[in-house]
Amino acid sequence: MATSKPQENMLWGGRFTGGLDPLMVTYNESIHFDRTIYAQDIKGSIAYARANSKIGILTADEFAAIEKGFQQVLKEWESNTFEIKPGVDEDIHTANERRLGEIIGTGVAGKLHTGRSRNDQVATGMRLWLRDQLRLLDEHLTALLRTLSARAKAEISALMPGYTHLQRAQPIRWSHWLLSYGTAFANDLERLRQLIPRVNKSPLGAGALVGNPFGIDRAAIAKELGFDCLINNSMAAVADRDFVVETLQWASMLMTHISRWAEDLIIYSTAEFGFVRLADAYSTGSSLMPQKKNPDSLELLRGKSGRVFGTMCGLMMSVKGLPSTYNKDLQESWETMLDGVKTTSDSIQIATGVLSTLTIVPEKMRSALSPDMLATDLADYLVRKGVPFRETHHISGRVVALAESEGVPMDKLSLQQLQEVDARFGKDVMQCFSYEESINKRTVIGGTSEQSVLQQIQILENRNVKKQQFA
């Protein structure tokens, strides 16, 4: 099998005299995906060069040349004019350093990497990129919660069935259903804000695994790059991909909630329910049946939750058995991180778009309510007269059975019929057959009364406040 000629400017090439299998070259390369962090890699390299200049590895002029050269490299990436050299630029670090050498000369550019390894370099770039992406995810999730809160407040009067086991259970407010997912999303936002500081730790200066031998000021580098703190063990600094795994675990939890939310809306948008109508912008049609309006946006959200979970599971399987410090298996963290973050980010924005544009059909929601859903209220009526609940539950069940045998809704039974079941039913029992009355009795914190729902909205809005300001 033919092999490629060793490349002189590969960062590791001096040890090798033989060439690589061409397939191995492409199999090993990561430039096609790690180019995503070109800006973070340059930012980290400038900070590292500055630190090297302070300990005499670089002169002031050499540092100035490196900084100016990298600014040109950055402009080339931003203008999409950077030329990647296949077989040479195996990763973003090699590409940037190679181009820097072409601009300022390899003599000066060659000093940049002193005391640094791609092991701590790649971990730094990944953490910088992921930190910024998580802050964007915070903004997207905050926007979703604001949209949800606004709808809950505006549509608080809409009543609908609440379900358990997908069976109609008790009447609720549409807003109460919204806030049930709002609570889950707010928990996700809280977890995200706890995650960001664990991502925002600096590994730079750890070298390949034992640390920098020139006394470089790691704390100064971390401060320049906006890290909260250092990773204090150099071996842990280069080995750790927990920050990616945890991000994907967090994303999997969020996407599980989005998927369940989407499933409810898919059901509610069917002709059989008709509670909501999706905007055309988030629906598609059928190639065969002109009447169809499919909730593809929601189905994709439901489907992509599995994709995000798959990336998390795949990465955990890749890292679970690795020996200490850096192993090339960790390259697998790249594509899972990029795909998982993008999928999650897109999904939150799609969910916000769906929620902000759908319309509800309050009359269809209300028409789905039925008097048998007030059977618990009938039992509660007798509880208020001092009857033990276990007894009232049985009595209410007999009323339900009577209505079924008579072929009428419960609220159409006469007072005489109700009293034949139990003489303790009084004239005021008919008030139990009011959906509004049933809902508004649930005044407990977290209940579905208007008072309770408004309180939940306020709590959600308070939780949604950004508790940390970023540099």
Secondary structure (H, E, C), 146-203: HHHHHHHHHCCCCEEEEEECCEEEEEEEHHHHHHHHHHHHHHHHHHHHHHHHHHCEEC
Residue 318 is a catalytic residue: no
**Each residue's pLDDT expressed in tens, for the chain with a length of 471 residues:** 444 555 545 554 555 555 667 777 777 678 888 999 999 999 999 999 999 999 999 999 999 999 999 999 999 999 999 999 988 999 999 999 999 999 999 999 999 999 999 999 999 999 999 999 999 999 999 999 999 999 999 999 999 999 999 999 999 999 999 999 999 999 999 999 999 999 999 999 999 999 999 999 999 999 999 999 999 999 999 999 999 999 999 999 999 999 999 999 999 999 999 999 999 999 886 655 666 689 999 999 999 999 999 999 999 999 999 999 999 999 999 999 999 999 999 999 999 999 999 999 999 999 999 999 999 999 999 999 999 999 999 999 999 999 999 999 999 999 999 999 999 999 999 999 999 999 999 999 999 999 999 999 999 999 877 654 333
End-to-end Cα distance, the chain: 53
Tell the burial category of 314 from Cβ atoms under 10 Å away from its Cβ (0-12, 13-18, 19+).
middle
The active-site residue, picked from 286, 324, 367, 414, is 286
Structural domains in the chain? 13-109 (1.10.275.10), 118-367 (1.20.200.10), 371-440 (1.10.40.30)
Report the 10 Å Cβ neighbour count for 393.
16
Length of the chain: 471
Chain centroid to Cα 311, Å, comes to 13
Known catalytic residue at 394 = no
The catalytic residue among 113, 140, 149, 165 is 165
Beta pairing class for 229-230 and 201-202: parallel
Q: What is the pTM of this model?
A: 0.91
Residue closest to 48 by CA, chosen among 118, 1, 137 = 118
* Strand blocks (E) in 183-270: 201-202, 229-230
d(CA 138, CA 188): 10
